Amino acid sequence: MSSEIAVRVENLGKCFHIYEKPGDRLKQFLLPQVRRAFGIEAKQYFREFWALKNVSFDIQRGETVGIIGRNGSGKSTLLQLICDTLTPTTGEIETHGRVAALLELGSGFNPEFTGRENVYLNAAVLGLEKKEIDGRLADIIDFADIGQFIDQPVKTYSSGMVVRLAFAVQSQIDPDILIVDEALSVGDAKFQAKCFDRLRKLKDRGTSILLVTHSSEQIVTHCSKAVLLNDGAVLEIGEPRRIVNRYLDVLFGRERKSSSVSSNVPLPKPDRVVPVAYPLSHTDDVFATHPGYNPHEYRWGDGSARILDFFLSTNGEPYPSAIDTGQNLVLAVSVKFEINMVRPILGVTIKTKEGVTVYGVNSETLEVDAFKVLGQAGSVVIPELRFCCRLAPGDYFVSLGLASRIGADVVPHDRRYDAIHLKVSPDSRFHGLVDLEADLRVN
Ligand SMILES: Nc1ncnc2c1ncn2[C@@H]1O[C@H](COP(=O)(O)OP(=O)(O)OP(=O)(O)O)[C@@H](O)[C@H]1O
């Protein structure tokens, strides 16, 4: 085995026994022994529930791996198995080095002891000698920044204060493996930023980090790889941006099979449509042939309508390689409806390369009346979006989506996540995320 591997998980499985009635647990404990004594076959009073099935992956030294998945997909169970607070039913786990964990439920603190006493207790459990803890105490207290509360019993702390102290201890003991389970979401934004700064430093000195979060942005920004869990099994392991997009599928129901509207649906009479001349395909999907197309786009949908092509221009220049802040942009797409649908919705989102959404609109939020009469089977329409690029210099990705509504549900027909790469040229006039076009005067 390579010495660079910090964690190896192989065919890991965890089965819980579920008892329908409280008395069944006692029956399960006592009756099989009685039945066996009388030579009668033992009956089972529980049903099995596999919270984790056949999970395998490696974490290299210095790697930050994100675990993402819906509620109940098995994330916490996986972390508890790696931390050794749960025993696996099947498979194996190898960890190399000191493991520190910041779990969502329970910090490992004794509520009756003061914060200071708990620091000693906690660090001792993690294998530190008293002398070592003495040497790090000031840094821990400084990082936690909870003032006089450090000498109060932990039971008087707010949940944010508990997490502050827990993170301070776990991260200041220089662990080889650090496990963080959603706990950071409890802290305020300033503390979270401080924690992520600390995580970066730990990573640089070789700590492997396992981060469970529901935040797509944290996964894309901080992780070098991500694991998507679904119903206790690994759905996919890979590049964070791809995994996050797949997670959104799982969350918003890509698995939907039927199309939302049958071809018999009567459509409103369309208004007269004034054709706009864009060099866009009305028949073939040529989206991927243009400059700016991102070959790592993530595409899905039931195919009842398709986004076939796009055209981007600024100041008359088609498909610009870079855009200046403040320039006007035109984004036109061609959409083909394969079946009749009522009130289709076109959405456009712009995200930073870290996955932070900077701007998102759709034909419903913009109340575009023209969309009320679109959607005839076989027709092609060319929606056009015009906007001013107020973005700061950097790299951005444009996602497009075509959906329609059936009752309260939005049924995705063609979602093209991160399909177009936008590059905004360097600009020395401002810093930050957007140009607010400040005007500075002296009166
Ligand atoms: N001790 C237990 N006994 C029975 N079932 C359990 C036990 N612990 C967890 N489960 C079940 O295992 C499944 C996975 O739970 P787990 O807490 O690992 O999910 P999760 O992905 O961390 O969810 P969340 O995002 O809500 O924190 C759930 O269906 C949960 O009800």
- pLDDT value of residue 39: 66
Residues 272 and 347: beta-carbon distance below 8 Å: no
CA distance 297 to 398: 10
Residues of the chain with pLDDT under 50: 1-2, 255-263, 267-275
Q: Which residues pair with 90 in a beta bridge?
A: 13
Structure tokens at 39: 């030579």
Number of Cβ within a 10 Å radius of residue 183: 23
Residue among 16, 89, 235 whose CB has most ligand 1 atoms within 8 A, to mutate: 16
- pLDDT value of residue 104: 57
Asked if residue 51 has its Cβ within 6 Å of ligand 1, the reply is: yes
- pLDDT value of residue 270: 44
Asked if residue 71 has its Cβ within 6 Å of ligand 1, the reply is: yes
Distance 376 CA to ligand 1 centre (A): 45
Distance 64 CA to ligand 1 centre (A): 23
40-69 tens-digit pLDDT: 666 677 788 999 999 999 999 999 999 999
- pLDDT value of residue 268: 46
CATH topology for the 261-424 domain: Coagulation Factor XIII; Chain A, domain 1 (2.70.50)
Residues 16 and 77: beta-carbon distance below 8 Å: no
CA distance 375 to 371: 8
Distance 409 CA to ligand 1 centre (A): 27
- pLDDT value of residue 7: 94
Its ipTM equals 0.96
Asked if residue 75 has its Cβ within 6 Å of ligand 1, the reply is: yes
> What contacts 138, CB < 8 A, 6 or more positions away?
none
User: Could you identify the atom of ligand 1 that is nearest to the CA of residue 77?
Assistant: 18
Distance 356 CA to ligand 1 centre (A): 29
Q: Residue 437 region, left (φ>0) first, then alpha (ψ -120 to 50), else beta?
A: left
- pLDDT value of residue 360: 93
Distance 78 CA to ligand 1 centre (A): 10
Start-to-end Cα distance in the chain: 71
- pLDDT value of residue 349: 94
User: Could you identify the atom of ligand 1 that is nearest to the CA of residue 229?
Assistant: 21
Distance 271 CA to ligand 1 centre (A): 53
- pLDDT value of residue 276: 53
CA distance 21 to 18: 9
Give strand ranges (E) for 199-288.
Answer: 208-212, 225-230, 233-238
User: Could you identify the atom of ligand 1 that is nearest to the CA of residue 14?
Assistant: 12
Asked if residue 213 has its Cβ within 6 Å of ligand 1, the reply is: no
CA distance 27 to 25: 5
Query: Would you say domain 5-248 falls under CATH 3.40.50.300?
Result: yes
Asked if residue 73 has its Cβ within 6 Å of ligand 1, the reply is: yes
Distance 74 CA to ligand 1 centre (A): 6
3-class secondary-structure state, position 30 = helix
Residues 59 and 17: beta-carbon distance below 8 Å: no
Asked if residue 215 has its Cβ within 6 Å of ligand 1, the reply is: no
Domain boundaries along the sequence of the chain: 5-248, 261-424
- pLDDT value of residue 107: 62
